[in-house]
Amino acid sequence: MTFIDRELARDLLRRMQTIRAFETRVEDLFKAGELPGFVHSSAGQEAIAVGVCHHLTRTDYITSTHRGHGHAIAKGISLDAIFAELYGKEAGACHGRGGSMHVADFSIGMLGANGIVGGGFGIATGAALAIKYQRRGEVAVCFFGDGAANKGTFHEALNFAGVHELPVVFVCENNRYAQFTSASRTTAVTDIAVRAGSYGIAGDSIDGNDLVTVIESAGQAIERAKNGGGATLINMLTYRHSGHFVGDAEQYRSRDEVEASKELQDPIVRFVQRMMDVGVLTEAEVDEIEAAVGVQIDAANDFAVAAPYPEPADALRHVWTVGSPQ
Amino acid sequence: MTFIDRELARDLLRRMQTIRAFETRVEDLFKAGELPGFVHSSAGQEAIAVGVCHHLTRTDYITSTHRGHGHAIAKGISLDAIFAELYGKEAGACHGRGGSMHVADFSIGMLGANGIVGGGFGIATGAALAIKYQRRGEVAVCFFGDGAANKGTFHEALNFAGVHELPVVFVCENNRYAQFTSASRTTAVTDIAVRAGSYGIAGDSIDGNDLVTVIESAGQAIERAKNGGGATLINMLTYRHSGHFVGDAEQYRSRDEVEASKELQDPIVRFVQRMMDVGVLTEAEVDEIEAAVGVQIDAANDFAVAAPYPEPADALRHVWTVGSPQ
Amino acid sequence: MTTKRMTFGQATLEAMQFAMDEDPNVIVVGEDISWGGNFGQFRGLIDRYGESRVVDMPISESLIVALSVGAAVAGLKVVASMSFVEFTLGAMDEIVNQASKFRYMFGGQTSVPIVLRASDGIRGSSGSQHSSSLEGLFCNIPGLKVVAPSNGNDAKGLLRAAIADPDPVVYLEHKKITGQRAAVIEGDFFVPLGSATVAREGADISVVTYSNMVNIALEAATVLEDEAISVEVIDLRSLVPLDVDTIAMSARKTGIVLAAHESWTFGGFGAEILAQVREALPEQPELCTHRLGARSAPIPFSPALEPAVVPGISDLIAEIRRIVGR
Amino acid sequence: MTTKRMTFGQATLEAMQFAMDEDPNVIVVGEDISWGGNFGQFRGLIDRYGESRVVDMPISESLIVALSVGAAVAGLKVVASMSFVEFTLGAMDEIVNQASKFRYMFGGQTSVPIVLRASDGIRGSSGSQHSSSLEGLFCNIPGLKVVAPSNGNDAKGLLRAAIADPDPVVYLEHKKITGQRAAVIEGDFFVPLGSATVAREGADISVVTYSNMVNIALEAATVLEDEAISVEVIDLRSLVPLDVDTIAMSARKTGIVLAAHESWTFGGFGAEILAQVREALPEQPELCTHRLGARSAPIPFSPALEPAVVPGISDLIAEIRRIVGR
Ligand SMILES: Cc1ncc(C[n+]2csc(CCOP(=O)(O)OP(=O)(O)O)c2C)c(N)n1
Ligand SMILES: Cc1ncc(C[n+]2csc(CCOP(=O)(O)OP(=O)(O)O)c2C)c(N)n1
Ligand SMILES: [Mg+2]
Ligand SMILES: [Mg+2]
């Protein structure tokens, strides 16, 4: 445990709390009718995004999902840019064209949230092929859900990654539900990591709500990838605190189940406890970090609210079409 | 081996020889420019089609591939109907609309050869779902190639079959090549049966050129399926004697490799040898069967050649379209 | 003939029940289907018909369609919920290469009685992957039938007809109207595929449209009435088969046709409507034909841009004014 | 400007080499690609550029496109061989939901420089799954560009332009012309996307077409010359962007437009051509517009039926005679 010193602990906690605070604020704003479209919250899954991205540089790649806010923040997107994007403002990361399900920041290797479940497998694999071809020392990480693991795209990508020993890590955020359906109803073998054997790649199955475990497992996989050891498939067990989308009635799971997980499995609470137990962090520090994060979220939201919408006249910018500005 | 008596041995040999003779004739006819389109020969793979279909009744289902002549014949299609189909005649199994890659006979549960690699996985799974829903005691068998195993449709179907323990058997005709590319270049784990573990179903890997082994392995899987034991994935090693399609220059494999397989692995030669060793069949019988088959093939070809083409005026029959005969 | 006010979703639920009560071989499959599907149109079916007839599917769109085809040729009639229409693209191979071709390619040996229900159109900032209308793709594929009701009553009658139809039917339901209420005829009835209806009579211009654009056109007609512009609104209801007679009759009367839809203008179905009406009225070369649809860009997320790409009531009104020159 | 006679396939091979020599980030992926692909258009590239730039893909169409997208956003330019155009349907999700939308949806942060080469059209009894032309689908999708050369020279110049283009380009090559010889300009050159050409000048009627139908139209024009019917043939070369000016100029001259293609008439691209020319010539309401395409059925296998569904030279000649009234 010693490898987590005070500085690192503060940094990791700040990242997790930033995601939690962002998602919480977004939920409130959405329920208050302040945000357009619909949004998916990753609250409860912060340890995976933060633990994995802890090992990544700006030039490493990630592909994300419909539940992508946490991945983007962990990879380093500016809070102003992601908040403005959720409002559909021109200052957004995608100039308002994308929205919550398509948040992307290519300048830091964040190749996009994706509204198509399973859409990231092949894209991450292609990015890994480019890395290998150009002999760059980077890695591509594909975040996906337990439900996405049932898409054929999973199979096609992992087989190819296995054949070419590509520098890619497939991280399953296994929160045990796909929308309203529990994984056991639709997935023959729910420990996704078992499938690594079908593709001759490394596999691991871990507690995805324990930040330290995530850091260790992801670290090994990413090191393997960067050292030419090929791909890894990691099944990370977690739980989403909110409904599938904000507004979900959640009839498919019991309040008790949700509360129990929040109480006993919350990745932030567990990390804080652990760090305090070993004396790396103090309660005062934790509160101070939480407060600082709150201020940042306020500032980013204020920025986004004040930012202007795109010009309707620019509706055709960024796509080829007759007479459109290229 | 005693379970194969003289009658059965004669019948099995007749079926394998019928397929071999049919494919050989088709190749000759195609090379002579007598047949339209293009054709794929299953010569060399007869033991799989015959050994699996040996266990099936007219009401069991099979889905086939682009290399489907053998499956259709083993399932019991009339030689007149398949030959006429290859010529595009109205008397063909599909009234000439389908051709070699779409030979089908729904009256005997042959749900069609398929020009889309991997097209059969979901169709066989759906047929199995219908069987289970209607509480019929039947089974659906999906024949597919080693190359098809890399399609995402493989994954989606086997996962679902695993979840619902469907009465379906997935039979991989692993002839080690997909068109011109050897399986090892595109498949991370070439023993396809390994993947059974990813879906919680039974798996088996066998010598697909040994008819007796095929009969035993397929028999167990089909019995399991019919008794509610769920799906099975069987990897059957085999080899195609001809090119991918008739006319293929075959630069991707050595003459020696082909000749060696023909000499040592020919499923018909091996079965005959085995039956003669144990005194179940005599050389005379074998010759007599071969001769009888030749006569049937001649008759079917004569029938097909003489049969009329469809009427151009009926080009829109069998599809909904403005003013078409329904 | 009494009617009852209910939502589009409830109306289709009634049609589902008549179909499922009448024929035990009708089953429903889809993601989260036991929870009613993404828009609740299937809510309650699970309690009435149980898990064997209301089958939760993994996130495996290719399988959903292939399995439907397989179950259909094995004796069932399958209604598949595809959720957002963009997800059908993950099953386009199964829809086009298998479902649409089976009856013809196999010479009429089988038909494929499946209904693919998909939600299309904009709902307000759902983003590029959850806002499209794709009828332009389906209507170009022979063997498929395509319907797009504009109200609950037609939704009910068309769904009945679609399930009874022997061919694959793509049933498109606009997100904005799934929750809309309308007067729906009580009891069981069919709206035959291929029958358009005059939603409003008018003398100056014929707006030929379908799905939610019908409702927009009716609003526009009311507004334009005050300007003494008399707008006739044709609700196609069914795109394939297309009721050319009803379109032609209206065009003959008004002399001006405006084909309007939410989907992209370029390469879209509007061009087909215009071509059909001209071919139907060769004696009327002076006929004026116009079209209104989305501009050539993915549907943007930003509330400021979406209406600049997808036509709404103001665009329709402006276009009608321009055409009739007032 | 000297020319050399070579096949369409050889001409594209030259374009591939200029592109690959010029830019080390251009790679080629596809099934059996190291063997030259299904029609040999890539033969020899493996020897010249090696396995890292000429990548054999598993039979995984979804992956082929998704991987191309991922590699492209990570810095490569990818030419993907999709073999028969029907196989692109297995990647429609990746083509439409990912490739075509990325640049716009992500606000111009990235572009997707990929070329999808696919062989379409009839070759003589290839059957329903290997004979279609699907440009009608691609042309309705904003963000995609679509080209369909009719001869080796354009094939070479268009491929060069397609690879250099920042957006995804669907490059359609007709099976019948891949092996056809033509005079091809030596050395490196581009045919800009969106530039049609007058393949033959005429006065009585404008046949607006592309791909192999251009060659059929040129033959027809020669035949009709003897009947004193002067046919102008417009070779669009590129469908998206569409060179409306060249079409309009011809239409203004002849007053009669016949849009002709091999793909299905209903919902096909011909209707778009006619709509575009009318929108371009509002001052010419008396313009006559006609179209010729395949009838609404899957392409049949039988040599007796294929020509009854897909239009050939006799159909084109008859239609032109009918239109000009002689
Ligand atoms: C191809 C496709 N199918 C279905 C959907 C609808 N959908 C959105 S999220 C979701 C569940 C995804 O579950 P999982 O992969 O476990 O991710 P989670 O939501 O649990 O994070 C579904 C079915 C979609 N967006 N894309
Ligand atoms: C979806 C699809 N992709 C590609 C092809 C082209 N193709 C036809 S057969 C074949 C190889 C199939 O290999 P395998 O599954 O091993 O069957 P085999 O030919 O060896 O019997 C390919 C790539 C196709 N028909 N369908
Ligand atoms: Mg999940
Ligand atoms: Mg093979």
What pLDDT score was predicted for residue C57?
98
Q: Which residue on chain A is closest to C62 by alpha carbon?
A: A152
DSSP per position, B18-86: HHHHHHHHHHHHHHTT-S-S-----TT-HHHHHHHHTT--TTSEEE--SS-HHHHHHHT--HHHHHHHH
* B17 has pLDDT over 80: yes
What pLDDT score was predicted for residue A323?
47
CA distance A297 to chain D (A): 23
Annotated catalytic, D306? Answer: no
- In this complex, the residue of A98, A114, A312 whose CB is nearest that of residue C308 is A312
Centroid of ligand 4 to alpha carbon of B149 (angstroms): 9
Give yes or no for B172 touching A (CB within 8 A). Answer: no
CA nearest to D294, candidates B309, C168, C140: C140
**What pTM was estimated for this model as a whole?**
0.98
What pLDDT score was predicted for residue B326?
40
Percent of chain A residues topping a pLDDT of 90: 95
Centroid of ligand 4 to alpha carbon of B238 (angstroms): 9
**pLDDT tens-digit map of A111-126:** 999 999 999 999 999 9
N-to-C CA span, chain C: 41
Give yes or no for D269 touching C (CB within 8 A). Answer: yes
* H or E segment and range at residue D147: strand D145-147
Neighbours of C175 (CB within 10 A): 20
Ligand 1 atom, smallest distance to A149 CA: 15
* Average pLDDT over chain B, rounded to an integer: 96
Interchain pair D266, C142: CB under 8 A: yes
**pLDDT tens-digit map of D243-284:** 999 999 999 999 999 999 999 999 999 999 999 999 999 999
Supply the angle between the helices B152-164 and B120-133 in degrees, to the nearest 10.
Answer: 20
One-letter amino acid at A46 equals E
* A2 has pLDDT over 50: no
**Residues, CB within 5 angstroms of ligand 3 (ion):** A 145-147, 175, 178
Which structure tokens are listed for C98? Answer: 């298998």
Q: Average of pLDDT values for B268-282?
A: 97
Which residue is it, tokens 């309401």?
A: D285
Which structure tokens are listed for B123? Answer: 């169709």
Q: Give the number of the ligand closest to the Cα of residue B64.
A: 2
Q: What angle do CA B121, B123, B126 make, to 5 degrees?
A: 110
Supply the angle between the helices A267-277 and A211-226 in degrees, to the nearest 10.
Answer: 100
Annotated catalytic, D130? Answer: yes
Q: Which residues 129-158 of chain A have a CB within 8 Å of chain B?
A: 150-156, 158
**Spatial contact of B271 and B10, defined as CB atoms under 8 Å apart:** no
Q: What angle do CA B127, B133, B138 make, to 5 degrees?
A: 55
What pLDDT score was predicted for residue C124?
97
What pLDDT score was predicted for residue A324?
47
Phi, psi of A207 (to 5 degrees): -80, 105
DSSP state of B321: -
Q: Average of pLDDT values for A297-309?
A: 98
Position A322 confidence tier, pLDDT thresholds 50, 70, 90:
low
CA distance B208 to chain A (A): 21
* B323 has pLDDT over 50: no
What pLDDT score was predicted for residue B91?
98
CA nearest to A195, candidates C250, C48, B200: B200
CA nearest to B155, candidates A293, D59, D22: D59
Residue A179's Cβ-side half-sphere holds a number of Cα atoms within 13 Å equal to 18
Q: Which residues of chain D have pLDDT under 70?
A: none
Interchain pair B318, C143: CB under 8 A: no
For residue D283, CA distances in Å to A195, D248, D252 come to 65, 12, 10
What pLDDT score was predicted for residue B325?
41
Position A128 confidence tier, pLDDT thresholds 50, 70, 90:
very high
- Produce one character per residue of A117-134: b if its CB has 16 or more CB atoms within 10 Å, e if not: bbbbbbbbbbbbbbbbbe
Phi, psi of C168 (to 5 degrees): -65, 130
Longest dimension (CA), chain D: 59
Among B103-107, B315-319, D108-112, the least confident range: B315-319
Position B321 confidence tier, pLDDT thresholds 50, 70, 90:
low
CA distance D128 to chain A (A): 25
Interchain pair A320, D143: CB under 8 A: yes
* A280 has pLDDT over 80: yes
| CA–CA dist B163, D78 (Å, integer) | 38
Ligand 1 atom, smallest distance to A116 CA: 26
| CA–CA dist B91, B110 (Å, integer) | 17
DSSP state of B308: P
Q: Whose CA is nearest to atom 5 of ligand 2?
A: B117
CA nearest to A132, candidates A124, A142, A120: A124
Q: Which residues of chain C have pLDDT under 50?
A: none
What is the separation of C-alpha B311 from the centre of its chain, rounded to a whole number of angstroms? 31
Phi, psi of A72 (to 5 degrees): -65, -45
Give yes or no for A116 touching B (CB within 8 A). Answer: no
Percent of chain B residues topping a pLDDT of 90: 95
Give yes or no for B186 touching A (CB within 8 A). Answer: yes
* B173 has pLDDT over 80: yes
| CA–CA dist B49, B129 (Å, integer) | 23
| CA–CA dist C276, D275 (Å, integer) | 11
Prior bond of D241 cis (ω within 30°):
yes
Q: Output C310-317 pairs: Cβ under 8 A, ≥24 positions apart.
A: C310/C122, C310/C131, C310/C262, C311/C260, C311/C262, C312/C216, C313/C216, C313/C219, C313/C220, C313/C223, C316/C207, C316/C213, C316/C216, C316/C217, C316/C220, C316/C260, C316/C292, C317/C220, C317/C223, C317/C224
